[in-house]
Structure 1
Amino acid sequence: MSGWVVMLTGMALSQGALAKETIDFMFPAPVDGKLTTEMTRVIREYNQSQDQVEVRGIFTGGYDTTKMKAESAAKAGSPPALVIMSANFTVDLALKNEILPMDELFKFAPDKQSATDYLQKNFWPAVRQNAQVMGQTYAIPFHNSTPILYYNKEMFDKAGIDHPPRDWDELVADAKKLTDKDQGRWGIMIPSTNDDYGGWMLSALTHANGGDFNNAVYPGEVYYNSASTRGALQFWQNLVYRDEVMPAGVLNSKQIGAAFFSGKLGMAMLSTGALGYMRENSRDFTLEVAMMPAKERLAVIIGGASLVSFKGISEAQKEAAYRFLTYLVSPEVNGAWSRFTGYFAPRMAAYDTPEMKAYLEQDPRAAVALKQLQYAHPWYATYETVAVRKAIENQLASLLTDKSRKADDAARDAQQEADGLLKPYVDQTALKLP
Structure 2
Amino acid sequence: MNAKWMALMGTGAVGLYCVTSLLTGGVQAQTKPVQQVTLWESHNGGPVADSMTYLVNWFNRTHPGIHVTIDVTKASTKALGALAAGNPPVLAEISHYDGSFLNAHALLSLNPYVMGKGGLSEGATYPSVWTNGEVGSQHYRIMADAKVSQLTYNIKLFKQAGIKSVPQTWTQLAADLAIIKRKFPTVVPLAYKDSSAHILPPFLANGGQLFLPGSNQHKTDFLSPAAYETFNYFRTLYAKHEMIFAHGANIRSDFGAGKIAVADGTSAGYEKILEAVHGRFPVGVFAYPKGSSGHTANLVQGLGFVMMIDHTKAQNAGAATFIKWWFSEGPQIYWGEHSGFPPETRSASVRIPSSYMATHPGTRVAISELASPYTIPRPVPTAYNEVQSVLDAYFYKAVTGQTSVKMALTQLQQQADAYLSGSAQL
TM-score by length of 2: 0.82
Aligned equivalents of 1:236 and 1:15: distance in 2? 67
Structure 1 pair 106/42, CA: closer, same or farther in 2 (3 Å)?
closer
Q: In structure 2, what residue type is equivalent to 1:288?
A: G
Tell me the equivalent position of 1:142: 144
CA contact under 8 A between 1:146 and 1:300: conserved in structure 2?
no
User: Shift of residue 334 of structure 1?
Assistant: 1.7
Aligned equivalents of 1:261 and 1:415: distance in 2? 38
CA contact under 8 A between 2:267 and 2:362: conserved in structure 1?
no
Greater mean alpha carbon deviation, residues 290-299 or residues 315-324: 290-299
User: Shift of residue 407 of structure 1?
Assistant: 2.2
Structure 1 pair 357/170, CA: closer, same or farther in 2 (3 Å)?
closer
User: Shift of residue 406 of structure 1?
Assistant: 1.7
Counterparts of 1:268-283 in structure 2, within 5 Å, are 268-282=263-277, 283=279
CA contact under 8 A between 2:390 and 2:415: conserved in structure 1?
yes
User: Shift of residue 232 of structure 1?
Assistant: 1.7
Three-state SS of the structure 2 residue aligned to 1:188 is strand
Structure 1 pair 425/330, CA: closer, same or farther in 2 (3 Å)?
farther
Tell me the equivalent position of 2:320: 322
Tell me the equivalent position of 1:126: 128
Tell me the equivalent position of 2:200: 203
After the TM superposition, list the runs of 4 or more consecutive aligned residues in structure 1 that deviate by more than 6 angstroms.
Answer: 180-183
Structure 1 pair 216/185, CA: closer, same or farther in 2 (3 Å)?
farther
Structure 1 pair 114/52, CA: closer, same or farther in 2 (3 Å)?
closer
Please tell me whether residue 44 in structure 1 is matched to residue 57 in structure 2.
yes
Tell me the equivalent position of 2:162: 160
Count of aligned pairs? 400
Q: Percent identity?
A: 19
CA contact under 8 A between 1:23 and 1:56: conserved in structure 2?
yes
Please tell me whether residue 57 in structure 1 is matched to residue 70 in structure 2.
yes
Aligned equivalents of 2:36 and 2:145: distance in 1? 24
User: Shift of residue 259 of structure 1?
Assistant: 1.3
Tell me the equivalent position of 2:97: 89
Report Cα offsets for 1:58-86 as digits up to 9, x if no partner.
2235xxxx422122222222222222233
Structure 1 pair 29/232, CA: closer, same or farther in 2 (3 Å)?
farther
Structure 1 pair 104/375, CA: closer, same or farther in 2 (3 Å)?
closer
Aligned equivalents of 1:273 and 1:214: distance in 2? 28
User: Shift of residue 171 of structure 1?
Assistant: 1.3
Q: In structure 1, what residue type is equivalent to 2:395?
A: L
Please tell me whether residue 288 in structure 1 is matched to residue 278 in structure 2.
no
Aligned equivalents of 2:171 and 2:87: distance in 1? 52
Greater mean alpha carbon deviation, residues 325-334 or residues 413-422: 413-422
Structure 1 pair 230/342, CA: closer, same or farther in 2 (3 Å)?
farther
Which structure has the larger Rg over C-alpha atoms? 2
Question: Which structure 2 segments of 5+ residues have no match?
Answer: 3-18
CA contact under 8 A between 1:224 and 1:392: conserved in structure 2?
no
Q: In structure 1, what residue type is equivalent to 2:203?
A: T
CA contact under 8 A between 1:292 and 1:299: conserved in structure 2?
yes
TM-score by length of 1: 0.81
Q: In structure 1, what residue type is equivalent to 2:52?
A: M
User: Shift of residue 330 of structure 1?
Assistant: 1.8
CA RMSD of aligned residues (A): 3.4
Q: In structure 1, what residue type is equivalent to 2:345?
A: R
Normalized per residue, which structure has more helix?
A: 1
Aligned equivalents of 1:272 and 1:284: distance in 2? 21
Three-state SS of the structure 1 residue aligned to 2:410 is helix
Tell me the equivalent position of 1:388: 387
Three-state SS of the structure 1 residue aligned to 2:377 is coil
Question: Which structure 1 segments of 5+ residues have no match?
Answer: 193-197, 427-434
Structure 1 pair 404/100, CA: closer, same or farther in 2 (3 Å)?
same
User: Shift of residue 362 of structure 1?
Assistant: 4.7
Three-state SS of the structure 2 residue aligned to 1:378 is strand
Three-state SS of the structure 1 residue aligned to 2:128 is helix
Three-state SS of the structure 1 residue aligned to 2:243 is coil
Q: In structure 2, what residue type is equivalent to 1:213?
A: L
CA contact under 8 A between 2:149 and 2:198: conserved in structure 1?
yes
Aligned equivalents of 1:190 and 1:29: distance in 2? 24
Report Cα offsets for 1:361-400 as digits up to 9, x if no partner.
5545532223333252313314213223212112223335
Counterparts of 1:167-316 in structure 2, within 5 Å, are 167-179=169-181, 184-192=186-194, 198-214=195-211, 218-240=216-238, 242-247=239-244, 250-282=245-277, 283-296=279-292, 297-303=294-300, 304-316=302-314
Q: In structure 1, what residue type is equivalent to 2:125?
A: F
User: Shift of residue 306 of structure 1?
Assistant: 2.5
Tell me the equivalent position of 1:113: 117
